[in-house]
Each structure stands twice: as structure tokens, then as C-alpha cells.
Amino acid sequence: MKNLTQRAVLPVILTFIVFASAFGQTAPKTTDAPNANKVATLQLASKLLERSVSYRVITPAKYETDKASRYAVIYLLHGLFGHFDNWTDKTKLAQYAAPYNFIIVTPEGGDGWYTDSATIPDDRYESYIIQELVPEIDKKFRTVSDRDHRIVAGLSMGGYGAIKFGLKFPDKFSLIGSFSGALDAPLRLEDNKDLRPSIVSVYGADDSKTRKDNDIFSLLGAASPDAVKNIPYIYMACGTEDFLFQTNRDFDNLLIEKKVPHEYRELPGAHTWTFWDAQVQEFLRIADSKIRTSR
């Protein structure tokens, strides 16, 4: 394992190795916002999934009264065994969002790895989000519907999904966030009783085309210098006690090798909501700075 003080920092890359005091068992302390934003649960009748799919939307406090304003959108993806309501139920996301002018969408991804399944024709979660949900949000809400004002982030499975969307659809997102990303999902071949069923269901056989087409290490490794220029800015964070720690380091090294502008943070923490709660607060600050800078 590399010594942390010897990790390379390229001119076009901001790579932070951050060590903070260890997290406690409760969520990190934050300043209470005076008014939490509105949270609504909606459904989309998906043709691709052939069923109605729930999602949640958080709108700014002034959304209903200030009819002239339009807003950037953050899509927040949940993890394996999770659902669309995780972010709002397990964190104070609406409260954290109150100081910012974002519409936040939390989609349903099932256990589908944000990928079109190789074995279940109706489980097309990548196509559903990109082809149906994003246009639906731009139609229903006052969004700024361009790349510069669209962001995607997620935890664990959702971190993998967010980076994959950024690499496969760089024209749709300007900022990517991955918290404890399960970045090597298509490469996992071991007989893990927790991970194996969903991975086989989504990616199929160990040598399947679906695995190859959705392996973000291969996607990034094959990217030309011109393609790299179009990759959205990537923010990554992983806890030093997380079982995915080395995978995140490996992907950071590839980002450095390919000269992709990004920021990577390592902090004390495990694969827990305590870590993700703190990270979503930090990511909102980063997203707000990014949007303000692009204006």
C-alpha cells in the first residue's frame, strides 16, 4: 500500500487525502436550517420498466412563490438493498438542502446497479433514468435543463452508478459524486451470498458483454484524450475502514493516470450512514460552489 504522503497530484487534478477525527455513532452535527424544503413522492409510469416507479423530489422553499426562477438538479442514487426514500428517511436531506437552490431527485434503482439487466428484460434502470426520468423532471419542474446544471451522485451501488453515468453520458452531467462507491461491481466474480445474486442477475455470466460494457475501469481506461476532456468533474470519498477502500484508491489512481480532473478524499469511517450523511452535506457545498462558478 502506498504511503499517503507520497501520492501524486497532477496539475489538472485536485486529489485530497483528508484525515479528520473519527466519526461517532450519531450523525455529524450540522447547523439547522430555519425551513426545510418541500419533499414530494411522485410516480412515473415507465414504459421501459413496464411498471410505475416511485421517486422523491425536494424543491427549494421558494419554489412555489418565486415562479420566475429555474433550478439546477441533483440526482441522488441509493445503494444496494435500498430504495428511493433512503436519502430522505435516513438523513436530514431536506434540511441540508435548505440553504441551496437545488431541485434534488432521489430515483428508485432497485438492486439493479443502475444498469440494463442482462437477464431480466424489464429491469432497465440505466435507460429508465437517462431516457425517462431525466426528461420527466425537466418537463414537470422548472429546471435549467442543460449539462452545466445537472448533477448525479450516490452511495455504494449509487456511487458506481453515478460515475458510470458520467462516463457513458458526459453530455448530460457536469458534476459526479461517489460516496463509498462499489466501483468494481461488474468485475466481482466471487461467490458472495450478499452481492452475488444481484450481480449475476444484472450482469449475467462472468464473461458477459454487459459486464464489459458497464465496467467503469475499462470505460475510463479506453477513453481517448479528447474523450477525457468531456468527462464531468468527479468527487469521490471513501472511509478508511470501508471494505471498498482499496477499490476506490485503485480508481483514483486510474483517474490520475488518465489526467481526469477530480477530487478524492479518504476519511475515517466505514460503509455506514454516518459517513454518507456527512458526505451528502459536503457534496451539497461542492455542488453549490460548482454551479456558482459556472455562472
The amino acid at residue 105 is V
Long-range CB contacts (within 8 A, 24+) of 66-72: 67/142, 69/101, 69/142, 70/142, 70/143, 70/144, 71/101, 71/102, 71/103, 71/141, 71/142, 71/143, 71/144, 71/149, 72/101, 72/102, 72/103, 72/143, 72/144, 72/149, 72/150, 72/151, 72/287, 72/291
Mean pLDDT of the 98-102 span: 96
Give the other-Cβ count within 10 Å of 223's Cβ: 17
Average pLDDT, the chain: 89
> What is the per-residue DSSP string for 14-57?
-------PPP-SSPPP-PPPSSPPEEEEEEEEETTTTEEEEEEE
pLDDT score of 71: 97
Q: Which residues pair with 205 in a beta bridge?
A: none
For the cut 90, the answer to whether the pLDDT of residue 182 exceeds it is: yes
pLDDT in tens, 241-267: 999 999 999 999 999 999 999 999 999
Q: What integer is the mean pLDDT of 36-53?
A: 95
C-alpha cell at 102: 437545488
Which one, of 170, 148, 138, lies nearest residue 260 by Cα? Answer: 170
Band of pLDDT at residue 22, cut at 50, 70 and 90: very low
Query: pTM score, two decimals?
Result: 0.89
Calpha distance 54→89 (Å, rounded): 15
Residue 295 confidence (pLDDT):
60
The SS3 call for residue 239 is strand
- Contacts of residue 259, defined as CB under 8 A and 6 or more positions apart, other chains included, come to 10, 12, 13, 225, 228
| CA-wise closest residue to 73 among 289, 280, 253, 287 | 287
Q: Is beta strand 38-46 parallel, antiparallel or unpaired with respect to 51-59?
A: antiparallel
| Residue 238 contacts residue 17 (beta carbons within 8 Å) | no
Q: How confident is the model at residue 4 (pLDDT cuts 50, 70, 90)?
A: very low
Residues 6+ away with beta carbon under 8 Å from 97: 36, 37, 58, 60, 104, 284
* For the chain, percent of residues with pLDDT exceeding 70: 86
pLDDT at 17 over 60: no
Please tell me the predicted confidence (pLDDT) of residue 292: 78
The answer to whether residue 5 scores a pLDDT higher than 60 is no
User: So what's the pLDDT on residue 240?
Assistant: 98
Helix ranges, 62-194 (H): 86-90, 93-97, 125-127, 134-140, 157-168
Domain boundaries, the chain: 4-294
Answer whether residue 233 shows pLDDT above 80: yes
Residue 123, pLDDT > 60, answer yes
* Whether pLDDT at 30 is above 90: no
Q: How long a stretch of residues is the chain?
A: 295
The fold of the 4-294 domain, in CATH, is Rossmann fold (3.40.50)
The pLDDT of residue 117 is above 60: yes
Q: How far apart are CA 154 and CA 176, in angstroms?
A: 9
What's the confidence (pLDDT) of residue 102?
97
Across 5-22, average pLDDT: 38
**Residue 25: pLDDT above 60?**
no
How do residues 77-88 score in pLDDT, each as one tens digit? 999 999 999 999
What whole-number distance in Å separates Cα of residue 7 and Cα of residue 187?
A: 25
- Angle CA(158)–CA(162)–CA(164) in degrees, nearest 5? 115
Helix (H, G, I), strand (E, B) or coil at 265: strand
- What local confidence, expressed as pLDDT, does residue 34 receive? 47
